[in-house]
């Protein structure tokens, strides 16, 4: 830290993203990206005539895309907020809806960015323990009187709770916003988007990074009551009104015109997930039931960090953690069938080597 850095950030520990090594070709099962490219329509839409327009600013209101998303999710255009990845959306939500009177609460095991945003904005934070097996008890969040942030499905467990339980949490915290981060909702979980009609304290965050093969395009959005959306826009327009670039806007609109393609991809991921879990079961692994595009699994012979290193030597990247509750596990993104077969054959080899 330089001597010029503001002291208000002296305790800030930045989020560490999953590694994106450039040295060699890995099978990347570490950052929950899609193994599938964007749809052919998306690839065609981002063409040279769009590149030629890069001298012009993009539409800061993202009207074309907002309209399409509103239609898709059956909400009004005034219920849609867009920004540069859902990390950016979450940052604005922490900034907008939390302060000394509205502390933030989230599970002690969840998306690693939540505690970083809490520190960044100097917010009092309550980390609510999950039950054994990474099970979230919705009652723990009822009547909490905090701004609540829940990833559903949760990371890194992959477990989800039903919208009925989210409804109870919303109703028991009428004076607080409940942010539901549905980054992984398209892989078999149920969305709580319908609840925004009846609950003005619900903000649902979503992303194009996982199920829509656009992690490199950086596009996230939130759905909620028009007043919550206005609050977020006030902050976005005080920071960077052009946070979504022209090419990403074009790509995202074309994405929404290719629903069948993305539905099929999600279907394939869900099938590959069952296939991988079954194969790991036979090898003695314990896997948490997942409704996401990743699994959280425990090797019977070594801890997660050891397995991570052995897989990396063999050209496969997964994610592991040093935290006591997580160190026995690795998180494995579900990729294509070929990628999962490569992963499973390396796992078999590692297990054999260990005897
Ligand atoms: C990946 C992820 C995000 C961030 O997505 P981006 O749109 O790529 O910023 C947000 N929340 C959770 C739980 C995630 O896993």
> Which residues make beta-bridge pairs with 127?
106
Fold match, 10-37+260-353 / 40-257: no
Interval 115-133 mean pLDDT = 97
Q: 54 pLDDT band (50/70/90 cuts)?
A: very high
Please tell me if the CB atom of residue 329 comes closer than 6 angstroms to any atom of ligand 1.
Answer: no
Atom of ligand 1 nearest to the CA of 210: 1
Return the residue whose CA atom lies nearest to atom 2 of ligand 1: 183
Please tell me if the CB atom of residue 86 comes closer than 6 angstroms to any atom of ligand 1.
Answer: yes
Q: What is the pTM of this model?
A: 0.97
Per residue in 225-261, pLDDT tens? 999 999 999 999 999 999 999 999 999 999 999 999 9
Residue by residue, DSSP assigns 191-227 as: P-GGGGGT-TTEEEEEESSSTTS-GGG--EEEEE-HH
103/202 Cα distance (integer angstroms)? 16
Interval 266-286 mean pLDDT = 98
Return the residue whose CA atom lies nearest to atom 12 of ligand 1: 183
pLDDT for the residue numbered 323: 93
pLDDT for the residue numbered 152: 98
The answer to whether residues 52 and 353 touch, using CB atoms and an 8 Å cutoff, is: no
Is the pLDDT reported for residue 355 higher than 90? Answer: no
The strand pair at 220-224 and 80-83 is best described as antiparallel
pLDDT for the residue numbered 354: 85
Please tell me if the CB atom of residue 215 comes closer than 6 angstroms to any atom of ligand 1.
Answer: yes
Interval 90-114 mean pLDDT = 97
Cβ atoms < 10 Å from Cβ of 27 = 21
CATH for 40-257 (3.40.50.150, 1.20.210.10, 3.40.640.10, 3.40.50.2300) = 3.40.640.10
Q: How far is CA 271 from CA 82, 180, 249, 265, 337, in A?
A: 31, 26, 31, 10, 9
What is the share, in percent, of the chain residues with pLDDT greater than 90?
Answer: 96
83/91 Cα distance (integer angstroms)? 10
Return the residue whose CA atom lies nearest to atom 11 of ligand 1: 183
Residue spans of the domains in the chain: they are: 10-37+260-353, 40-257
Query: Which residues 6+ apart lie within 8 Å of 108 measured at CB?
Result: 127, 128, 129, 130
Pick from 137, 91, 130, 136: nearest CA to 114: 91
Pick from 176, 233, 225, 234: nearest CA to 204: 225
Per residue in 17-33, pLDDT tens? 988 888 789 999 999 99
Q: 203 pLDDT band (50/70/90 cuts)?
A: very high
Query: H/E/C letters for each residue in 73-114?
Result: HCCCHHHEEEECCHHHHHHHHHHHHCCCCCCEEEECCCCCHH
pLDDT for the residue numbered 24: 83
> Which residues make beta-bridge pairs with 224?
203
Please tell me if the CB atom of residue 180 comes closer than 6 angstroms to any atom of ligand 1.
Answer: no
Provide CATH code, domain 10-37+260-353.
3.90.1150.10
Return the residue whose CA atom lies nearest to atom 14 of ligand 1: 183
Interval 34-38 mean pLDDT = 98
Interval 96-110 mean pLDDT = 97
322 CA from centroid of ligand 1 (Å): 21
Per residue in 204-219, pLDDT tens? 999 999 999 999 999 9
């Amino acid at each position: 830290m330089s001597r010029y850095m503001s002291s208000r950030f002296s305790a800030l520990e930045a989020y560490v993203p999953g590694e994106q090594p450039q040295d060699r070709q890995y099978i990347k099962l570490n950052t929950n990206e899609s193994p599938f490219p964007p749809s052919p329509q998306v690839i065609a839409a981002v063409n040279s005539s769009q590149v030629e327009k890069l001298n012009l600013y993009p539409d800061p209101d993202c009207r074309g895309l907002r309209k399409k998303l509103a239609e898709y999710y059956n909400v009004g255009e005034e219920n849609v907020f867009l920004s540069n990845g859902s990390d950016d959306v979450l940052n604005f939500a922490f900034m907008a809806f939390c302060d000394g009177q509205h502390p933030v609460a989230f599970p002690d095991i969840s998306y690693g960015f939540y505690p970083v945003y809490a520190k960044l904005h100097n917010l009092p934070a309550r980390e609510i323990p999950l039950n054994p097996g990474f099970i979230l008890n919705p009652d723990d969040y009822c009547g909490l009187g905090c701004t609540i942030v829940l990833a559903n499905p949760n990371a890194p467990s992959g477990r989800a709770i039903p919208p009925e339980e989210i409804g109870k949490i919303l109703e028991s915290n009428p004076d607080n916003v409940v942010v539901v981060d549905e980054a992984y909702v398209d892989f078999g979980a149920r969305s709580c988007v319908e609840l925004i009609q009846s609950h003005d304290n619900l903000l649902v965050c979503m992303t194009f990074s996982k199920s829509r093969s656009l992690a490199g395009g950086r596009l996230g959005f939130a759905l909620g009551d028009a007043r919550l959306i206005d609050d977020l826009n006030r902050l976005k327009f005080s920071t960077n009104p052009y946070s979504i670039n022209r090419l990403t806007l074009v790509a995202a609109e074309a994405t929404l015109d290719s629903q069948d393609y993305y539905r099929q991809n999600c279907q394939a991921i869900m099938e590959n997930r069952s296939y991988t879990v079954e194969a790991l079961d036979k090898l003695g692994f314990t896997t948490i039931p997942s409704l996401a595009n990743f699994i959280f699994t425990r090797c019977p012979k070594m801890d997660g960090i050891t397995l991570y290193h052995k897989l990396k030597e063999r050209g496969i990247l997964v994610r592991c953690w040093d935290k006591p509750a997580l160190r026995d596990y690795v998180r494995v993104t579900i990729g294509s069938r070929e990628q999962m077969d490569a992963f499973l054959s390396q796992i078999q080899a590692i297990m054999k080597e260990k005897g």
